[in-house]
Amino acid sequence: MKIVLAAWAAALSVAFGAAPLHFVGSQMEPHEIVVTAKRFEFDPATITLKKGEPVELVLKSQDVPHGLKFRELGVEVKASKGKTGEVEFTPERIGEFVGHCSVFCGRGHGSMSLTLHVVE
Ligand SMILES: [Cu+2]
């Protein structure tokens, strides 16, 4: 009986000792999402992220300066003319959030939006 218990204890310590380390390691690495901005759209126009998973949002401008702002999430990234900007964040709420261009870029500026879905 003692031997069986010892074997169980060893098995449990392996399962609970090793797995969380791997879990934490994979959680720390921000997932990179690249969004291209040009007059007057974002590509892709829809992105899906997992709640609690850190991401690095990379905004690439193909023409004039653009921005992407999710007011509800307090997240904003700007990219100057022909350049790239990044922001790191972790979505903590499930839902649908609409981001808008935050740098005036011309006539269609007001219609530039990107829908972010945050899922469990
Ligand atoms: Cu704009």
Confidence class of residue 119 from pLDDT cuts 50, 70 and 90?
Answer: very high
Please say if the pLDDT value at position 3 is more than 80: no
Mean pLDDT of 79-86: 97
β-pairing, 41-43 vs 31-38, is antiparallel
User: What does the block give as tokens for 68?
Assistant: 């992407």
- What's the gap in Å between 64 CA and the centre of ligand 1? 9
- What's the gap in Å between 19 CA and the centre of ligand 1? 45
Provide the whole-model pTM. Answer: 0.77
Please say if the pLDDT value at position 114 is more than 50: yes
- What's the gap in Å between 50 CA and the centre of ligand 1? 27
Three state DSSP letters for 103-118: CCCCCCHHHCEEEEEE
pLDDT at 29: 83
Q: Taking the CA of residue 58 as centre, how many other CA atoms within 13 Å lie in the half-sphere pointing to its CB?
A: 9
